[in-house]
């Protein structure tokens, strides 16, 4: 069975403790590889390598760092098919999604930050008659990058690319559930000629590897994407150590359809925002609100369209809905569908695990697109993050009412608004408490825009200039006249 090893100081190495975890293929429910079950000793080795690499890497001219990162982007694209297949097997996501979204986006992340660092500016402030100030933005040192299982390479590269582009060295920890494409990325980094120790990857569980990374005194910067409960633990560790932290956490995003929307477009968009990647995207719109005059029409057509999504073996090219990432996550989804019914909800679509899709997938973690109606806005199903192919649909009567519903959550990551009334779009966008508001679209991601959440969806922003600022330390140099 393939062994996924740590990548430290440019070498693939076994974990010091010699232990491995089974890596399960969600579509079959069976182990198909093993991943290093590392601990604090491996983190220490990675930190030593990153520390050694930092002086040279941080002084490498931006143009040279840029060339290297562009080469990594090219190599990811060259190996697109290999990466996409690996991501699909590891996560259960449809191969077509990995090929069309995850892997191209990983290449774009490298390309974007490789070129962004060629166009930076340093601010200057003239203090009248007294002094001249300029701002240096220097790399912060060794950074810790912790990422989740839903978009493994997409999210890991979203952190690695800006961190390295800015001249930092990194310790990355992919989710233990989906470590495979990080291994492939390390192979490519070697081929591209990335100096050893610049990127180190330590595999293992959150408590054994994630926690020592967040607690390590030599890692002063932590970029974390994952669940809100874990994010809180990361913040608790980093706070008293005064680390610079970015937390991209969960969501319970509203998707609002006004009667004046282009319904055809809103329905297609809502099927995507509800069920893409089996609903396992932090940006998915899991609470759908529909203006009462079009509620019935919308629900009927939405259900009709969602029921046509082809669930199947993730490796089948025609599959649109694959497997849920793990048994734990599948159980969580089932728990919430049961809870919804206890809370008075009706299952309008799905709700039960399907018959086996084929012999290979007999024991896989499948759950169909599920639509729940008739739930009170404030019930648990409507408040807690499910992170699966499950949405609730609720009618509303006025703009004011739906803004109240949208904001009645602990989370504030993203939202969608569907309307053809431009003034309404501006009004609603301004009042919704979320880091992103999409109008008549979903998941349109320009890499230059600030990305992140409000309230319990996180702290800080990633993307474009925000990322370059996060991974650098501003220093004011003041020269007297």
Stretch that binds ligand TXE, among 228-236, 308-316, 344-352, 444-452 (CB under 6 A): 228-236
Stretch that binds ligand TXE, among 36-44, 58-66, 206-214, 313-321 (CB under 6 A): 206-214
Q: How far apart are CA 169 and CA 447, in angstroms?
A: 22
The reply to whether 159 sits near ligand TXE by the rule CB under 6 A is no
Identify whether 384 is a catalytic site residue. no
Min dist CB 26 to ligand TXE, Å, is 13
Min dist CB 90 to ligand TXE, Å, is 13
Query: Which tokens hold the place of 164?
Result: 């390295």
For residue 47, give the H/E element and its range. Answer: helix 40-59
Considering the candidates 189, 238, 282, 361, report the single residue annotated as catalytic.
282
The reply to whether 364 sits near ligand TXE by the rule CB under 6 A is no
CA-wise closest residue to 277 among 111, 433, 155: 155
Count the Cβ atoms, other than its own, within 10 Å of residue 39: 20
Kindly identify the residues of this chain, within the stretch 257-286, that bind ligand TXE according to CB under 6 A.
282
Q: Which is nearer to ligand TXE, 69 or 337 (CB)?
A: 337
Q: Which is nearer to ligand TXE, 329 or 416 (CB)?
A: 329
CA distances from 92 to 37, 137, 330 (A): 22, 41, 12
The reply to whether 210 sits near ligand TXE by the rule CB under 6 A is yes
The reply to whether 249 sits near ligand TXE by the rule CB under 6 A is yes
CA-wise closest residue to 290 among 418, 423, 429, 379: 418
Report the side by side order of strands in the sheet with 142-146.
11-13, 6-8, 199-201, 169-173, 142-146, 219-225, 244-248, 458-459
Q: Which is nearer to ligand TXE, 224 or 470 (CB)?
A: 224
The reply to whether 239 sits near ligand TXE by the rule CB under 6 A is no
- 91: alpha, beta or left? (left if phi > 0; alpha if psi -120 to 50): alpha
Stretch that binds ligand TXE, among 21-29, 46-54, 227-235, 424-432 (CB under 6 A): 227-235
Using CB under 6 A, pick the residue from 104, 141, 227, 450 that binds ligand TXE: 227
Q: Which is nearer to ligand TXE, 169 or 230 (CB)?
A: 230
Q: What is the DSSP string of 343-370?
A: TT-EEEE--SPPPPSSSTTTTS-----E
Residue nearest to ligand TXE (CB): 206
Q: How far apart are CA 372 and CA 394, in angstroms?
A: 9
Identify whether 186 is a catalytic site residue. no
Using CB under 6 A, pick the residue from 183, 211, 382, 415 that binds ligand TXE: 211
Count the Cβ atoms, other than its own, within 10 Å of residue 425: 17
Q: Which is nearer to ligand TXE, 249 or 290 (CB)?
A: 249
Stretch that binds ligand TXE, among 21-29, 54-62, 98-106, 210-218 (CB under 6 A): 210-218
Contact of 156 with 173, CB cutoff 8 Å: no
Contact of 258 with 400, CB cutoff 8 Å: no
CA-wise closest residue to 424 among 268, 253, 294, 261: 261
Min dist CB 62 to ligand TXE, Å, is 30
Interacting residues toward ligand TXE by CB under 6 A:
146-150, 173, 175-176, 205-207, 210-211, 214, 225-227, 230, 233-234, 249-250, 282, 329, 332, 385, 387
Cite the active site residues: 248, 282
């Amino acid at each position: 069975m393939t062994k996924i090893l740590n990548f430290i100081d440019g070498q693939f190495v076994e974990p010091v403790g010699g232990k491995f975890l089974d890596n399960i293929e969600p579509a079959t429910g069976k182990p198909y590889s093993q991943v290093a079950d590392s601990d604090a000793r491996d983190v220490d080795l990675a930190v030593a390598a990153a520390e050694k690499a930092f002086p040279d890497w941080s002084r490498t001219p931006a143009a040279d760092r840029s060339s290297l990162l562009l080469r990594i982007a090219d190599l990811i694209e060259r190996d697109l098919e290999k990466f996409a297949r690996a991501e699909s097997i590891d996560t259960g996501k449809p191969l077509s999604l990995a090929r069309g979204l995850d892997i191209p986006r990983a290449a774009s992340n490298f390309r974007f930050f490789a070129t962004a660092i060629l166009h930076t500016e340093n601010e200057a402030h003239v203090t009248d008659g007294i002094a001249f100030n300029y701002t240096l933005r220097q790399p912060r040192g060794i950074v810790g990058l912790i990422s989740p299982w839903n978009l493994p390479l997409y999210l890991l590269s979203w952190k690695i690319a800006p961190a390295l582009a800015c001249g930092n060295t990194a310790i990355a920890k992919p989710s233990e559930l989906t470590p495979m494409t990080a291994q492939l990325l390390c192979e490519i980094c070697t081929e591209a000629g990335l100096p050893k120790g610049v990127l180190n990857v330590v595999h293992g569980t959150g408590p054994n590897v994630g926690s020592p990374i967040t607690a390590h005194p030599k890692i002063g910067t932590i970029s974390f994407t994952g669940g809100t409960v874990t994010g809180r633990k990361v913040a608790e560790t980093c706070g008293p150590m005064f680390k610079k932290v970015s937390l991209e956490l969960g969501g319970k995003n509203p998707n609002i359809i006004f009667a004046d929307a282009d319904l055809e477009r809103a329905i297609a968009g809502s099927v995507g925002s509800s069920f893409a990647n089996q609903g396992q995207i932090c940006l998915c719109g899991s609470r759908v609100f529909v203006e009462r005059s079009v509620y019935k029409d919308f629900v009927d057509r939405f259900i009709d369209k969602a029921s046509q999504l082809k669930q199947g073996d993730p490796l089948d090219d025609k599959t649109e809905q694959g497997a849920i990432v793990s048994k734990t996550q599948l159980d969580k989804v089932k728990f919430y569908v049961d809870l919804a019914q206890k809370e008075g909800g009706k299952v309008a679509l799905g709700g039960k695990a399907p018959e086996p899709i084929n012999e290979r997938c007999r024991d896989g973690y499948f759950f169909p697109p599920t639509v729940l109606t008739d739930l009170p806005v404030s019930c648990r199903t409507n408040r807690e993050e499910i992170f699966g192919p499950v949405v609730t649909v609720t009618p509303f009567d006025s703009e004011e009412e739906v803004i109240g519903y949208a904001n009645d959550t602990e989370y504030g990551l993203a939202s969608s608004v569907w309307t053809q009334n431009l003034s309404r779009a501006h009004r609603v966008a301004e009042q919704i408490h979320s880091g992103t508001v999409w109008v008549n679209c979903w998941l349109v991601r320009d890499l230059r825009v600030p990305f992140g959440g409000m309230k319990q969806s996180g702290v800080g922003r990633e993307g474009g200039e925000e990322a370059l600022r996060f991974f650098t330390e501003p220093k004011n140099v003041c020269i007297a006249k």
